[in-house]
Structure 1
Amino acid sequence: MSDFGQLRSSEPASQPMTFLWRTPEAGSDGLIGTYSRSNTLDRFDFRNGKHIEFSGTTPVLRFDGRTRDLMAFDCLSNTAAPMVSQRMAQVLHDACPQDIQLVPARIEAADGDLDGWSLLNVTATVLAINHKKSAYTTVPGTQKIMSFRHLEYLEGCLNEHQLARDAEYLGHLLVSDSLAHTLSGFAGVSFERPQEVYYQTMSRRWNSANDAR
């Protein structure tokens, strides 16, 4: 049973929490899309936390899955940015229009095309990492974070935002407590505390290392 579309936290809700936006990992039966290299926009443009100036052709994303299977979800993972359905796009627009840009995109699936989807470009960044409580590895010779062993965010790090990218690790998409609850019923996305995400990551690595012995 998939846990995507659920809100997960083992901690009491005494303070507003900051969640990580999570989508299925690779190997999900054709449900991970590939951003076409022929698109006008570079896929990394969606990870800068800035508004994109766009006047070219509609971006295309290719999925190995069938249209019927893809349409069972409201959020599809891919190599660019979260791809959201019309229903989810409307909720996001109503909840946090100041934090997002919706870029119309087309899906090329195994058995046909799908329109009415959008790539979610989050246009805000915040300094969120609690460096005293987090543990991470940096790129050799730089202060740029390469990976985390443990991650905690500062309380209130989102300020007035509902959605934002981590300015020090742009691959992370941060979600407010209230927005996570609003989106918790949508299929294809889950919201997890960073402590839980990296506890699970380290647990998997530990188990894999033990299995290899």
Structure 2
Amino acid sequence: MTFLWRISETNADGLIGTYSRSNGLDRFELRRGKRIEVNEAMPTVRFDGRTRDLLAFDCLSNTAAPLVSQRMAQALRDSCAQDVQLVPARIEAADGVLDGWSLLNATATVRAINHRKSVYTMVPGTQAIMSFRHLEYLEGCLGEHQLARDAEYLGHLLVSDSLAQALSDFAGASFERPEEAYYETMSRRWNSANDAR
């Protein structure tokens, strides 16, 4: 079974970081599913939250890629070293600086979408997917990988069943079945539309 890596909604309230490009690393490089060259300047992610609030989590949301604690980084190395590149990053919080965190870069992409069972909208005039209404992945789409980007929709970080289990106790990340994630989105829209009538 394949899961989507999501940032838990419990850390979304005021704790979403902003990636600073001052080190020259474009944040979109972290979403290509390839190993990247890292220069000496450490990427910085700025948060409005306080350090003690950030330290309650092992995975933090920001505008680049998942930001993981040392503890979670070690679990990723132990479970799927061949699929990850951990880019050391610095956190600037409202009341101080935190070191020892890493931006998670998945180093592989897979063609994973079950096009017969998924419902999506294309970017007008292109063959690129803009959004999903329902999403299902092909059985075994990750192959030998435990973690990879969806080659057709790079914003999605895919996780194997065994890796999702290994990371389930880390605060801040959640792993959802794609059909449930997008079904709930559709249901919320449907219920909101009906409630407005």
Structure 1 residues 38 and 50, CA gap change in structure 2 (3 angstroms): same
Provide the alpha-carbon RMSD of the alignment.
1.3
Helix, strand or coil for the counterpart of 2:99? Answer: strand
Q: Which amino acid aligns with 1:66?
A: R
How far the C-alpha of 1:207 sits from its partner, in A, is 2.1
Matches of 1:27 and 1:208, distance apart in 2: 24
Counterpart residue number, 1:178: 162
Tell me, yes or no, if the aligned pair for 2:136 and 2:178 is still in contact at 8 Å.
yes
Counterpart residue number, 2:191: 207
Matches of 1:25 and 1:74, distance apart in 2: 14
Counterpart residue number, 1:11: none
Counterpart residue number, 2:136: 152
Q: Which amino acid aligns with 1:178?
A: S
| Runs of at least 5 residues in structure 2 that lack an aligned partner in the other structure | none
Q: Which amino acid aligns with 1:207?
A: N
Structure (1/2) with the larger helix percentage: 2
The question of 1:33 aligning with 2:46 is answered no
Counterpart residue number, 1:135: 119
How many residue pairs match? The answer is: 197
How far the C-alpha of 1:27 sits from its partner, in A, is 8.3
Tell me, yes or no, if the aligned pair for 1:75 and 1:84 is still in contact at 8 Å.
yes
Matches of 2:8 and 2:75, distance apart in 1: 21
Tell me, yes or no, if the aligned pair for 1:33 and 1:64 is still in contact at 8 Å.
yes
User: Mean alpha-carbon deviation: is it higher for 50-59 or for 107-116?
Assistant: 50-59
TM-score where L is the length of structure 2: 0.97
Tell me, yes or no, if the aligned pair for 1:29 and 1:65 is still in contact at 8 Å.
no
Structure 1 residues 130 and 79, CA gap change in structure 2 (3 angstroms): same
How far the C-alpha of 1:150 sits from its partner, in A, is 0.5
Picking from 2, 24, 42, the partner of 1:58 is: 42
User: What pairs with 1:1-213 in structure 2 (closer than 5 Å)?
Assistant: 17-24=1-8, 28-213=12-197
User: Mean alpha-carbon deviation: is it higher for 125-134 or for 20-29?
Assistant: 20-29
